[in-house]
Structure formats: structure tokens, C-alpha cells
Structure 1
Amino acid sequence: MSATNKEYALDAVVTALITQPTETTVRPRYEGNNINTWIGFKHVNYLVEEAVLGHFRAHGLPSRTLFEEYGLGLEITDLDTRILNAFHLDETATARVEPVGEGDTLAFRVVLTKDGQNKDVTSKVKVALRRERYVDDAYAVPAELKRFAVERIATAEPVRDAELLPTADLGLTATHNTDPLLKELTEGSNAIAWRWRIAYPYCHNNERLQMSGYLRLMEEAKDRLVAHRGISIKTLLDERKWIPVVPHSKIRFLDEALMEEELHIVFTVEEVFKDVTYTSRMDCYVIRDGKLVPTATGTIVHGYAVFENRKDWSLVNFDQHVLAALRGE
């Protein structure tokens, strides 16, 4: 193929990517099955991620090609997902991905449906194509992709001066009870916080914490919160057969977070709505050059359901014990 024909072909590929919807079949992973046969919010978001990756693949720009040929890392930077119906093991869904971005924004609306009629999941997703310089700085981004390429995913303004206090265990046991900065970040709020060294399995493209890593941290934050308040997930499972359910979650990148940096994670209960749901916010920071820099923020809405048998469950209202724990009383 001549250079002119190759450029024309890439132009057609990019045009299709940002204008033409795609459909693909997705199925939950076995690892996402924690209670009976239901799939948790994290793995529902993985289905959304897979649908977006499939959209790029279907239009001839899979993530591997973007990275290896053009030096671009495909990064999901904004994820806003509503779960309307529960997913179970072995269920399949049709994922429809519709481009909705304008200008130099890659944005998509994703709808998952199991029966072809009812919406089971809806999600709004933004994607960045990040220029990757870790391996080789010689790659030239083709003109057709240049408007979507960014030198950095985001650049947040520092919140304040801050000092990273060394610990013998790389901050693994530092919490709002022991770490001075975390104490300040949670003071006067209904929150918990901890420090965490960004681990290699949570990262991709050689150096960065990726969206799925933040989803895992948000799931851990919920687990830590309820355990700290005396209503751990296993406690309510054993005593009441209550399980947490999530109708809505969202996460947005504010800056990049790098492998082996220490992340300061603050999880705040913002609102308890009557006795049905509660909304929590996760804020993540790193200390860089003596400054506290936010890297991501997001919210998650939780409720509780009781399961009657191996297949059936129904939503329940919070009682006073659970309400007091969620309110930090």
C-alpha cells in the first residue's frame, strides 16, 4: 500500500471510530463472582471497558496497534456507570458502543442489554490516547490521530504543601488513625483514609495506575469503611444475609499516578438517603515535589439486599444500627 493509500485508509478508520457505533458480546468474568452467582460493580465496569476496547478493535485500531505502531496508550479516563439490573455468572449481554465525542474528545455511550430490549447497564466513557515515551521516543503520531493524542492524561493543580513521611513498611499500615496528613484530610468529615504503595499489578503501559486499578481501590474502600464501622461485609452476610449492591459509580482522572508512588486514599460518606442508599466519595492524592496532588476522584452509591436463596434477593432498608455506622455515630 502506498503512503497516500495508507493515509487515506487510516483517515477512514478514524472517521468510523468516532462516528459509527459497534456491537459486541460480553460475558462477566468468574473472578467477579463473590456472593452466590451475582457479579459486583467492578466487574460490570470491566464489561464496559471490554466493550470500548472492542469498539476500537472493530474499527481497526486495537490497543496493541495503537501502542506498538503509533506509541499511543489507550487510557479510560472517565467512567460513569449505572447498573439497572444485576448480572449473574454465565450471562451474556450485547454491548452497544456509540461515539458521542466532539472535537478532540473521544467519548462514548455504552449500553449493555441481556435480552435485546431492556437496558441493564448504561455508561458514559471518555478515552485519552496518551503519547508513550517510556520505551521509545521516536514514534510519530500520524496526522489522523494527532488531535486525540495527549502528552499527559491530565494535570491537576496541587492542593497544598505536603511531606511524605517515611515508614518502615512503605506506608502499608498508615491510616487516618496514625498518619498526620491523613488525619488532616479526614478531620471533621465522615471519612476513613489510608496510604497505599501503587503496585505493579494495578498498572499498565509500564508505569501508570489504570482505571481498573481505581475500581479495585474503590471496592476496597467500601470494604475498609464498613469493617472500620463494625458492619463488615462478612458480619452482615453471616448475621442477616445482607449483601452490598451498587446502582451507580463513577471515577474521573485528575492527574497521572505512577507505579510505586504512595497513594493517599480518602473515602468519605457524603449522604445517607433516607434509609435506602448512601453515597461515598473517593479522593486519591500523591505527594510530588513537596505538593499534595489529586490524581482521581469518584463516587459510588451503595444499598443493601437480602438473599432468600441461591438465586433470589430483594432490597432492604437500613436499620438504626447500620444507619448509625454509616453516619459515623
Structure 2
Amino acid sequence: MRTTTVLLRPRFEGSNICTWIGFKHVMYVVEEAVLDHFRQHGLVPRELYEEHGLCLEVIDSSVRILHALHMDDQVEVRIEPKTKAGAKEITVAVTLTVEREGKPVKALTGKVLLMLRQDDSQITGGAGAVAPHFLQEHSAPTLRRAGHAVLPLDQSVSRERAAVAPDVLKALGADSSNSFVWKWHVPYFYCHYNDRMQHNGYLRLMEEVVDLFLAERGISIRSLLEDNKWIPVVPTARVEIVDEARMEETIYTVYTVEEIFKDTTYRSRMDCYVERNGALVKTATGSIVHGYAVIENRKDWSLVQFDQRTIDALSGKPA
């Protein structure tokens, strides 16, 4: 594969605070550029699936955001192949460039790993499609990767959809740590290829679990907007799939604040588990760094230090 470039604009949906684009939609731009990279090489995702039974899957993406994107920005995205010889995963490096004051500036750098997952859906007739050899080299029957965790559960505990059972909290280690656990189900509209949660579904989970965590700690997005004119900003984020989460499975998203840096940013980890066959199976992990910025006007913001209320909330101290 050769290096490709494409011009894209972030989605209007991602402009939630003034005209700045949230990290999830910045990573959506990355995903769209990577898909275009495959199309430019004749590897159209639809044709890979329909003709060869291969599902193009993003399995790992990490980004470093250097400049905020705004509504209506036109972004040039450069995709450079980085796949190592013999690797199942297809690796690309990503660079986003945007114009500021008449000059191009680097807005993001990142890396994305992809895999061609062999379709085995009984709905579509299962496996058996023949793909060219160069595609088979990067295909696999499952997205399961080394090191995924399986945690046993006590099946005597009753299950209710909204409640997180005590044995689940204990298995996850969240009963004695600075963690927040959100129990949900895998909806079909976060899935693809009839079966699995897709990578951008985990981006949605990461954004939502942060929102739920902050509200639970008494520093919801709205409260800090109204009290301090603060908004959360994200300099780095990563989401990695380690196993498959299937449509309508019960999923637990664990959000843990790991470290606060000099009262200006904090790093958190997200881990996702599905409840399957009497155990919790880890399906994804990720990390995200947050800071806060004060809104100065409709166009400008600047980073701030955390106040004691924010530090206590992030540290798990009672209000």
C-alpha cells in the first residue's frame, strides 16, 4: 500500500460546546480516512464482505490531539502504511493537518490497527468464501487477541438489568478501587456484520462512561459549565479491542481514574467486559487523558488548573 491523503470535515453532531469538536468525532474523522485509504487501494469494505466474506475491523486506535478541530474545518488526513512483515494486523500511521491563520498546522498524530475478520455468521450462510492470498495473510477467524481476561462469577446472585451485582463489583476489583461501573447491553446500532460491537461503539462507550462518572462524582459537564465555564478537553485517547462483544450481551464498562498530573490533567482507564457462560470476558481496554479549559468567548478557551472540588471528586473523596 502507498501513502494516501483525503480531505474531510468533522461531523456537525460532534460540536457540542461552542464550535469545538469532541474527541470521539475527531477519532471518527480518523476512521473515515482509514476506510478511504482502503478504498483508494481497491479494497472496498462492502466488496470485501460481499465477495470474500471478510469483515474489515478496526481493532486498535490511539491518537494525540495537538490542536482542536472546529465546526466546518476542512482537514487533510494523511495515512501512511506501517504494517510489519508477517503481521496479521494492518497498521497505519495517521496525521491530520488543518489551516490556522492561513498556515497548515498539525492537528493530530495517531496509529490505527485493522484486521480482516472471516465472516462466520449463520445468517449469511457462514464461512466458505475464498479470498485472494494477500487478503488471507491479514485475516483471522476471530478478533480474540492474547492476554484477554476471564473472571469467574458467583451464579447464585440474581441479575437485574440496571443493578451491578456485588460479585461483579468484587470480580472487577471495583468494590475497593476508585472505579465507576456501568452496566448496559450491547445494542444492535453499536454493532456491525450482524454480530459484533465495532470499534467506534467503544468510542461511544468511553464518552458516555466519562459523562456518567463525572455526574456521579458531583462534577457533571453541565454543572462545571454553569459554575466555572469549564469544559473537558482531551489531549490523548486510545481504544483497543481484545475480544468480541456480541449484540445484546450484558456489558460492564469500568472507568478508573489512575493518576492526576500536577492538578492540570488526569489519566483514566476504561475496561469492558461481557457476561458470558458464568464469567466476565474482557473485550476492550482503553485510556484517555482529560484536562479542563475555561470558555473565554465563542471562539477561544484556555487551560486551567483543577480546583479542590474537582481534585476531591476525581480522587474519590466524599463531598
The unaligned stretches of length 5 or more in structure 2 are none
Amino acid at match of 1:174: A
Write the mapping of 1:310-329 to structure 2, written as runs, cut at 5 A. Answer: 310-329=298-317
Indicate the residue corresponding to 2:128 in structure 1.
138
The change in CA–CA distance for 1:32 and 1:241 in structure 2 (over 3 A counts) is: same
1:124-168 deviations in Å (ceiling 9; x for gaps): 100000001211323112212110011101245443212565545
Indicate the residue corresponding to 1:8 in structure 2.
none
Quick one: distance in 2 between partners of 1:239 and 1:117?
36
1:128 aligns with 2:128: no
State the 4+ residue runs in structure 1 displaced beyond 6 angstroms: none
Query: Which TM-score applies when normalising by structure 2?
Result: 0.92
The unaligned stretches of length 5 or more in structure 1 are 1-16
- Report the secondary structure of 1:235's partner residue: helix
Quick one: distance in 1 between partners of 2:59 and 2:151?
24
Amino acid at match of 2:58: I
Residue-pair matches, total: 306
Indicate the residue corresponding to 1:107 in structure 2.
91
Write the mapping of 1:164-203 to structure 2, written as runs, cut at 5 A. Answer: 167-168=159-160, 171=161, 173-175=162-164, 179-185=166-172, 186-203=174-191
Indicate the residue corresponding to 2:3 in structure 1.
21
Q: Which range is displaced more, 101-110 or 179-188?
A: 179-188
Indicate the residue corresponding to 1:74 in structure 2.
56
- Report the secondary structure of 1:272's partner residue: strand
Quick one: distance in 1 between partners of 2:252 and 2:150?
13
Q: Which structure shows the bigger proportion of residues in helix conformation?
A: 1
In the TM superposition, residue 240 of structure 1 has moved relative to its aligned partner by 1.1
What's the RMSD between the two structures over aligned residues? 1.5
- Report the secondary structure of 1:108's partner residue: strand
1:238-280 deviations in Å (ceiling 9; x for gaps): 1111000000000111100000011111100000111100011
Amino acid at match of 2:142: R
Quick one: distance in 2 between partners of 1:251 and 1:157?
14
Q: Contact conserved, 2:148 with 2:283, CA < 8 A, in 1? A: no
Query: Which TM-score applies when normalising by structure 1?
Result: 0.90
Quick one: distance in 1 between partners of 2:224 and 2:281?
36
Q: Which of 8, 14, 18 in structure 2 is aligned with 1:32?
A: 14
Quick one: distance in 1 between partners of 2:48 and 2:153?
37
